[in-house]
Amino acid sequence: MDLDESEAEIRELVERLDRLIPRDGAHLTIPAEPEGNTTLGNRLGYLRFGLEFLAAALHPLPASHEQPTRVEPRLDYLLTPDSRPPFDLCEVDEAIVSRPPVRAGVGALGQLMAAAVVVALLILAFMGGSVVVRWLFG
């Protein structure tokens, strides 16, 4: 998608939203532990979260030797002290649509079924081998 034609208007809208949605009172807690899956926040917090990503997407940081082109939303004022930033890196890849899709793993149930099939095949191979040995050596 080419934003060049409408980017100036989007910038104006983001600036206007920035004035309309106050920073004071905006709070968001993103779980710091890996098992945490509930993000808590007030409406202002979620609005500011989205706005910060919009603003960051309009001003991507250029690639360097250490980092790819990326966006870095300013969330430090928004996150509560026991939060962690939601992403380590927000990389910009304009060619993402042309890449082949990522294949999903088989999941836990698929892994269990595959393990059961492997165990069953090993048992059958062992039984078949014992029949052959018994037949050859009586």
For residue 132 the two structure tokens come to 């052959």
- Joined tokens for residue 32: 């710091």
Task: Reply yes or no on whether the pLDDT at 1 is more than 60.
Answer: no
**20 — pLDDT class (breaks 50, 70, 90):** very high
Q: What is the mean pLDDT of the chain?
A: 85
* Least confident range of 4-13, 21-30, 85-94: 85-94
Q: How far apart are CA 108 and CA 114, in angstroms?
A: 10
d(C-alpha 30, C-alpha 52), whole Å: 15
Residue 73 region, left (φ>0) first, then alpha (ψ -120 to 50), else beta?
beta
Residues 6+ apart with CB under 8 A from 86: 30, 39, 75
pLDDT per position as a tens digit, 117-134: 888 898 988 888 888 888
Residue 101 has pLDDT above 70, yes or no: no
For residues 54 and 59, give the distance between their C-alpha atoms in angstroms, rounded to a whole number: 9
